[in-house]
Every structure is written in C-alpha cells, then in structure tokens.
C-alpha cells in the first residue's frame, strides 16, 4: 500500500496585511540605507514590542504623543487600544515615512517637527498628554539631545504621565546624569525576544509621581 507524501501546511497572512507588512519593510530598509543612524534598525519593530510600548495607555484618558512614527507599527498599536485618532499626534521628520503615515492613518495628525520643539506644533497644550511613546533611536543621539527631548516630552506630559522608550540594550538608553538632572525615575517595563534585535522597554516618570 502506497502512502501519499504529506504536504507541508503554511499559514498565510491575508493578502492586504501581507502587502502592508512588505511595504513597511521595504520603506524601512530604504530609510536605513539613506540614514542608518536616524533609523537605527534594518527592520520595523514587531507587534510584540508594540504591545509592550502601549500597555499603559488608557483610551478614555488624555492625549498621546508618539515620537518617531516610522512605518506606523506603534501608531497602529496605539489606535488598537481604542484611543480616538484625534487624541493621537505622531512626530516623524523623515518625509517618506511622514507621507506613508498620512496615507495609512488619515485621521491622525502627523507632525514633521523635531521632537525637541514639538510643543510648537501640537494641538494639545502642555500637561494634556498621558503618555509619550518614543520610537526614536536614542542610542544614536548624544546626551544633550536626550536632555532636550526628555525636557520637551515632560513639558507636554501631565502629572503622573510617562515617557516610554525601547532600546536594544538591557540598560536605559539615557545616561544616569541626564536622568538625575531632570529629576526622573526609570523602570524596566518589559522585554521581548520576539523582535529583531531583541528589545527592552523602559518607562520614565517624574520622581515622586
């Protein structure tokens, strides 16, 4: 009796989702080739990392600011929490990424403004934001840039608000000197190996809040 050879079974993504992810990857790779220090990785962040980044967002609470929107992996995860799109603003200074974000998220405000001066362009006022979700490549920036970005972010955050940042290191991507100078606390919020490279998420908050 002959046995028919077993066929391997593959699980395919829906056509639209597959095309979207392929486009995200190609856009990200092109940006990395042009400006590797600004993009920091050759692939977009995974959905597993995105879930860690948005875990503390309350969709019924205040506004959210995203820094470094890239191809929209974190943007999509933020909106999946149920946060209304009009309560989200995304900062992206790469023109190609900004165009893609406007195309995929037409009801979200995309700001092509440096993170250090984002308060000059936001719809919300300082103190209106519950969370800043940062996809910025802080390890590629110097301590002065870290100081300016965190200062501006906490100007926008309300009391008790947090700045969430991922890094490919097990240590915070901001020096202890900058953390101390700004009166901040930082805790490890989670990590995932289901990302390339594996990533750790840190949450910064004002000391005592």
Identify the CATH number of the domain in which residue 163 sits: 3.40.50.150
What does the pLDDT read at residue 43? Answer: 57
pLDDT at 193: 92
| Nearest alpha carbon to residue 45 among 203, 198, 153 | 198
Q: What is the pLDDT of residue 27?
A: 56
Contact 32/182 with Cβ under 8 angstroms? no
The pTM score is 0.81
The confidence score (pLDDT) of residue 7 equals: 43
Q: Which helix (H) or strand (E) holds 91?
A: strand 88-91
How far is C-alpha 118 from the geometric centre of its chain's CA atoms? Answer: 15
Length of the chain: 209
- Tell me, yes or no, whether 170 lies in a domain: yes
The domain total for the chain is 1
186 part of a folded domain: yes
Phi and psi torsions of 137, nearest 5°: -80, 75
Q: List the strands of the sheet with 157-167, edge to edge.
A: 109-111, 88-91, 63-67, 129-134, 157-167, 199-206, 184-192
Per-residue tens of pLDDT for the chain, all 209 residues: 444 444 434 434 444 454 555 555 455 445 444 554 444 444 578 899 999 999 999 999 999 999 999 999 999 999 999 999 999 999 999 999 999 999 999 999 999 999 999 999 999 999 999 999 999 999 889 999 999 999 999 999 999 999 999 999 899 999 999 999 999 999 999 999 988 889 999 999 999 98
pLDDT at position 196 = 84
Contact 81, 59 (CB under 8 A): yes
Position 189 in a domain: yes
- Give CA 1 to chain center in angstroms: 58
Domain coverage including residue 184: 45-206
Cα gap 136→124, rounded to integer Å: 21
Answer for the pair 70, 44: CB distance below 8 angstroms, yes or no: yes
């Amino acid at each position: 009796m002959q046995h028919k050879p077993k066929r391997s079974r593959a699980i395919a993504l829906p056509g639209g989702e597959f095309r979207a992810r392929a486009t995200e990857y190609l856009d990200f790779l092109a940006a990395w080739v042009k400006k590797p220090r600004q993009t920091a990785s050759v692939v977009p962040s995974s959905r597993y990392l995105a879930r860690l980044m948005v875990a503390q967002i309350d969709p019924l609470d205040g506004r959210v600011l995203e820094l470094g929107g890239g191809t929209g992996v974190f943007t999509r995860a933020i909106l999946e929490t149920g946060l209304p799109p009009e309560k989200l603003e995304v900062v992206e200074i790469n023109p190609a990424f900004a165009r893609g974000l406007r195309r995929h998220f037409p009801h979200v405000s995309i700001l092509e403004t440096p993170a250090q001066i984002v308060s000059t362009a936001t719809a919300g006022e300082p103190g209106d934001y519950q969370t800043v979700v940062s996809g910025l490549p802080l390890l590629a920036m110097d301590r002065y840039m870290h100081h300016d970005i965190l200062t501006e972010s906490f100007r926008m955050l309300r009391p008790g608000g947090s700045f969430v940042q991922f890094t490919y290191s097990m240590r915070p991507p901001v020096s202890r000197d900058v953390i101390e100078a700004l009166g901040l606390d930082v805790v490890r919020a989670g990590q995932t190996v289901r990302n390339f490279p594996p990533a750790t998420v840190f949450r910064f908050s004002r000391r005592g809040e």
